[in-house]
Structure 1
Amino acid sequence: MNGPLDGFRILDLTSMISGPMSTMILADQGAEVIKVEHPEGGDHTRLVSGRRGGFSSSFLNNNRNKRSVTLNLKDKDGIAACLKLAARSDVFIQNFRPGVAERIGLGEAAVRGVRSDIVYVSIAGFGFEGPWAGKPVFDPLIQALSGLTTVQGGADDRQPRLVRTILPDKLTAVQASQAVTAALLARARTGKGQTVTLSMLDTVISFLWGSDMSAHTFVGDEPDQDEPQSWIDLIYTTSDGYISVAAMTNKSWESLATALDRTEWLQDPRFATSALRDVHKNLRLELTQEALKDQTTDYWMVRLTEHDVPCARILTRAEMIEHPQVQANGIVIETDHPHSGRLRQARPPARFVGYSDFEPSPAQMLGQETRAVLSEAGFADAEITAMIACGAATDAQEPGE
């Protein structure tokens, strides 16, 4: 497909979410992504629940616009073939546990030996050194170790809570895709290959620091225990549902007080400045809730909007898809998959003027382009057939239910 990364080739040895989502972002922007999977089963997300036509929604939603190749990386012929593909690639990306790539013969030195200016990317869970580097990792563990569960719980003395989406995985994917484009830009300027390493743990800690680590920013003034920003969420109950209202600035606070017919708030010394409204946040939010509870969500959406108060109805996932703003943005698209039928997905949020409309190719069967990609890399038909016969690779495999 046409896109700003058209002409770049990425060899993708990642699995699960963080790696595959990062390479899909790059594929959606026009890069050719060759996804290398094990001949027996492939990426684990192919096998999870939520399936139709032999494909899981998780795999479909993180692996469109890629070419699927199977190589047995425990076989010397599979490793040799992978290095031959790397020699033709601009980026090599893997998320094996630290040390595994080197052990099987696909570490940076081996890959750079066939393509000296390649961008070599490694994604880890906890890091590449230290006592936790070799531990198995899943998203909830990163949420726990990074402090995110405590932030979500509200304070150190509250019940920790998971964010109910795999935020560390997906955030790492976005960070990795940005790092790849930065590395390609550096290579274009210097002519030298780049090495990129990032961990899910580092990514989440960096992400939290901008808004949730204020009490630990000033060295020497750290609290003994982090207090909650508020014990009240910015989600209010109306007479028939829920609404979110955020009056942060002086202007929006004045507008809120007027819209709610509570102009006496504007003379209350506890709310005279932004800093004081923050100190008395719980009282401010309690008063706001009391004012909102007796009218419908529709009523308040009209009333608050008339006074330019930031507000939004609380939507379910199904309602979100049908919301007029979401539809106006065109973020949700429908495409046809040869096995799974009509699909609904989110298109890339970043749009690039001057490139063709987004028309993604569907996620492929396991090994769907093994023969084509190996042939393009210079393997003769007889060599490919021999590799398939010995188990170093496989032909396209029809998806099973």
Structure 2
Amino acid sequence: MKGPLSSLKILDFSTLLPGPFASLLLADMGADVLRVESPTRTDLVRVLPPHDGGQSTSHAYLNRNKRSIALDLKRPEAVELVRQLVADYDIVLEQFRPGVMERLGLGYEALKAINPKLIYVSITGYGQTGPYRDRAGHDINYLALAGIASYTGRQDSGPLPLGVQLADIGGGSLHGVMGLLAAVIHRQATGEGQHVDVSMTDCAFALHGMAGAGYLGAGVEPDMENQALNGGSFYDYYRTRDGRWFSVGSLEPQFMQQFCAAIGRPELAARGLSPKPEDQQELKRAIGIEFEKRDFAEWLEVFAALDACVEPMLPLSEAVEHPHILARDLVVEVPREGLPAQRQIACPIKFSAGLPAPRHAGGALGSHTAEVLAELGLTPERIAALKAAKVVG
């Protein structure tokens, strides 16, 4: 079994999270992903704790099913090797600031001259154009600038630093994969490659699916706890007597009626439809009082048999063992060289034809350098000479 993307060959110059998460999805679906890494400037994810068997668990996961070649791109000999690879690896994924790849002689126009069908995907914080194109940033900055943080949080404590990197993954990674695959389809139809410009800030800005439409179309400014889905209604989290939490999303009347009956307050169901903020806050207080009357385990029993959009908030240690997560095969054993297999999050996309089993976790820097160079036709003597000269690692 090869996977639906087995025809794609991708040179991945990205580091940290956005690009590597994108290429992880592609590799899991069968693409041949070759990471091009610096032998002297380590990707910080390689040393990011926690570690298992002396290896970063984040690196082992994000670089699953990929090969690694170590090249010093400041050396002309290394740049020439990339130019040779582009003749075969006709998709490039890179995450440098705008202009860096051009200065290395590896920009889109330079590589397009070698392979006119090249697809070149650039994932950056602010995009290839605009006044912020050269500005540094991280996930929290992109969410702040895009307006998402302005209505994500509590009025009395301010915006929340999200546990998941929404702009990095939801913006850069997932939109990067979409843009790349769209360009592949375009190339199949026309024979033309192209440069795909993915800005994490742009993509975060585009995630304003409801509040953004409300503001641009009707002038309604979203704020913390003033929207139906951000704490401005009973759609929220509630603490149990023993300090745990439940999520309540019983928006539709049939769900709200079940929920209110289950907590012993059927008369509250009608209040869920009220558009008045004060009514919603009063309803939240009433629901909160009821949840505080029982422990987490007791509420689990109450809601287990109900289809009312009420679920417990689970820590990750419980989420990975949840019967539904396990039934969906979302935890997988991944082989590692010289170490026991490691449990990792599986590819979440299901295909009726199936996917290949994970081949290996992320490996050592440059662990496939000799193998890849041999595929280019270099002799063992030439490879040894390049290693001695520190062109490759």
Across the aligned residues of Structure 1 and Structure 2, the Cα RMSD in angstroms comes to 2.3
Q: TM-score, normalized by length of structure 1?
A: 0.89
- Tell me the alpha carbon deviations over residues 198-242 of structure 1, each in whole angstroms, 9 at most, x when there is no partner: 0111111111x11333541325x3449676333677111222332
CA shift for structure 1 position 356: 4.6
CA shift for structure 1 position 185: 1.2
- Tell me the alpha carbon deviations over residues 101-134 of structure 1, each in whole angstroms, 9 at most, x when there is no partner: 1111001111111111011111111222222211
Contact 1:53/1:339, CA 8 A, preserved across alignment: no
The 3 A distance-change label for structure 1 pair 311 and 26 is same
Instruction: Give the one of 260, 263, 269 matched to 1:260.
Output: 263
The 3 A distance-change label for structure 1 pair 153 and 242 is closer
Contact 2:92/2:118, CA 8 A, preserved across alignment: yes
Alpha-carbon distance in 1 for matches of 2:317, 2:277: 34
- Tell me the alpha carbon deviations over residues 71-110 of structure 1, each in whole angstroms, 9 at most, x when there is no partner: 1100001101011111111211111111111111001111
Instruction: Report the AA paired with residue 169 of structure 1.
Output: D
Q: Which residue of 1 aligns with 2:209?
A: 210
Contact 2:303/2:310, CA 8 A, preserved across alignment: yes
Q: What secondary structure does 2:128 align onto?
A: coil
- Tell me the alpha carbon deviations over residues 123-169 of structure 1, each in whole angstroms, 9 at most, x when there is no partner: 111222222211222222222222232222245x8522211232221
- Tell me the alpha carbon deviations over residues 32-63 of structure 1, each in whole angstroms, 9 at most, x when there is no partner: 00100011254221122322334211211110
Q: 2:289 aligned with 1:290, yes or no?
A: yes
Q: Which residue of 1 aligns with 2:43?
A: 43
Contact 2:150/2:223, CA 8 A, preserved across alignment: no
Q: What secondary structure does 1:382 align onto?
A: helix
Contact 1:235/1:245, CA 8 A, preserved across alignment: yes
Contact 2:153/2:224, CA 8 A, preserved across alignment: no
CA shift for structure 1 position 65: 0.5
Q: Which residue of 2 aligns with 1:170?
A: 169
Q: 2:222 aligned with 1:237, yes or no?
A: no
Q: Which residue of 1 aligns with 2:342?
A: 343
Q: Which residue of 1 aligns with 2:379?
A: 380
Percent of aligned positions with the same letter in both sequences?
29
Q: TM-score, normalized by length of structure 2?
A: 0.91
Alpha-carbon distance in 2 for matches of 1:224, 1:345: 37
Alpha-carbon distance in 1 for matches of 2:337, 2:319: 27
The 3 A distance-change label for structure 1 pair 225 and 310 is closer
CA shift for structure 1 position 278: 7.1
* Gaps in structure 2 of 5+ consecutive residues: none
- Tell me the alpha carbon deviations over residues 318-340 of structure 1, each in whole angstroms, 9 at most, x when there is no partner: 11122212221110112331245
Contact 2:274/2:280, CA 8 A, preserved across alignment: no
Q: How does 1:318-333 map to 2 (within 5 A)?
A: 318-333=317-332
Contact 2:153/2:159, CA 8 A, preserved across alignment: yes
Alpha-carbon distance in 1 for matches of 2:213, 2:288: 27
When structure 1 is superposed on structure 2, of 8-17 and 356-365 the one drifting more is: 356-365
Alpha-carbon distance in 2 for matches of 1:83, 1:392: 15
Alpha-carbon distance in 1 for matches of 2:41, 2:79: 18
